[in-house]
Amino acid sequence: MPLREWLLSAAERGNPDTSIPTWNTGNTAEALIHGQRYFDRLASEVEALEPGDHLFFTDWRGDPDERVRDGGPTIAELFADAAKRGVVVKGLLWRSHVDKLAYSEEENRTLSDDIEAAGGEVLLDQRVRRGGSHHQKLVILRHPGRPELDVAFAGGIDLCHSRRDDDAHHGDRQAVRMAKAYGPNPPWHDVQLMLKGPVVGTLDQSFRERWTDPAPLDQHGLISTVTDLLKHEDMTPDPLPEQPPDPPPAGEMTVQVLRTYPAMRPAYSFAKLGERSIARGYTKAIKRARRLIYLEDQYLWSEEVARLFAEAMRDNPDLHLMAVVPRHPDVDGKFALPPNQVGREKAIELCRSAGGDRVHVFDLENHEDTPIYVHAKVCVIDDVWCSVGSDNFNRRSWTHDSELSCAVLDGERDERAPADPAGLGDGARRFPRDLRLSLLREHLDRTDDDGLIDPFDAVRAANEAADRLRQWHLDGGTGERPPGRLVPHETERLPWHQRLWAVPAYRLVYDPDGRPWRERRAGTW
């Protein structure tokens, strides 16, 4: 399979300032579905670190008291214990907006303080556009002298409350407050990748680019600067240890690290005009879609993103789009809710205008009928190309915040029929197909793949199961509950008087544009 047909070249990435390679061959990737599985694996790997090993991480939110296992330790204890035994622990947490706005300023600051007290160094990083955030979720573990043990975790799962759910979806007992429909312990669906091989070195280098960027950490506000001074916040990164050589090959997968960095002032030294390789990577892969784009996403609410799907379905009359999204936004309220609703309504409407009944949008509920919050950011195209990351399918994630995703092409073919769903000669590949099937088995309460391997059969099975569950609810929930957790997603058009203010609020506040003006005018990434 020619990699250049699916992956970005260095020129297509569009960022001559970065030092990371175009892609890495010789890797393995494992999908860790749900936070409980991820946290347990992360704990095992961190507990095995020895003096002189490296633990680097970035995150949007870190709750120091979040337990990684039922009996502990907490995130703070896990990382602080590593620092106490001589592991080099370095972290970059988004500085965050204030807690009164339902953000995590105090939690991130406390996690930073706890780790620094143990000998690590965690910086609160506000090198973002105004109103933006650092949204990357990444942990890198290096073992100088034992590179075969190196591993990285990248995806959608933050080191914080509500994330440690499992496939039963009863929620994390340490929960964040969300919309009332999700209950006191919101069920949470998410995915993280565990990666081994040379790509770990690339992720290490990506972290180092941010760490060594000379721009001031604290930007956009006198109050925050004074607060940091009063709290004696560490604002100067110490030097990192020398970067070890890349780990040896570990498998047959090619992984391309994709990122978003906005165009901003002062500019990032490693992305002077920003980087939009996530947007460009998806754009290139979606143009090769022929049978099925399967995605799971927290938002799916930008017209610019939906237009890519619409154009692909117009160009390919056999192409289906299957999307799994949250039933409700994560917030309630007469001012917060409408801008969240209007973006998705417009995106789905645009897709359906192009694809009609080839567009299938679902949400999830657990077996107690409580909606499951979909926080995963996953895309699988024709069982050939897939991506798991921190980025959502919206303009904010593709242009404005910092994001990180890993696109995977597996060298191992999957010969189960259809062996070449798209008919382009690329052939189905083991990892992306297994990822799609794993997710569908859970959503459909299945233990086998019968009727799910062929993309068209999978679409039919999902629709039939979702329709049965919806009808059961319409009938009053009498009799045995049908198997499955998928329900057809319904959008409601907002009345004109709400749209008058919700549309501009959505575009300016909830889904801003971080591109240079030239690219905005041209409509390119």
Domains of the chain by start residue, with CATH: 24-251 (3.30.870.10), 275-511 (3.30.870.10)
Residue 374: what pLDDT? 98
Beta carbons of 199 and 27 less than 8 angstroms apart: yes
Nearest to 403 by CA among 253, 277, 267, 214: 277
Q: Any residues with CB less than 8 A from the CB of 226 and at least 6 apart, and which?
A: none
pLDDT tens across 411-425, in order? 999 999 999 999 999
Is this prediction's pTM over 0.85? yes
Question: CB burial class (10 A; 0-12, 13-18, 19+) of residue 440?
Answer: buried
In this structure, what are the phi and psi dihedrals at residue 396, rounded to the nearest 5 degrees? -55, -50
pLDDT band for 152, please (50, 70, 90 cuts). Answer: very high
Q: Strands 138-142 and 191-196, how do they pair?
A: unpaired
Q: Provide the pLDDT confidence category of residue 227 given band limits of 50, 70 and 90.
A: low
pLDDT given for residue 144 in this prediction: 98
Helix 430-444 / helix 455-474 crossing angle, nearest 10 deg? 20
Q: Would you state the pLDDT for residue 335?
A: 73
Confidence band of 228 (pLDDT split at 50, 70, 90)? low
What is the spatial distance between Cα 106 and Cα 476, in angstroms, rounded to a whole number? 45
CA-CA distance, 394 to 212, in Å (whole number)? Answer: 29
Measured distance CA(22)–CA(2) in Å, rounded: 14
**Under 8 Å CB-to-CB from 420, ≥6 apart: which residues?**
426, 427, 428
pLDDT for 101: 46
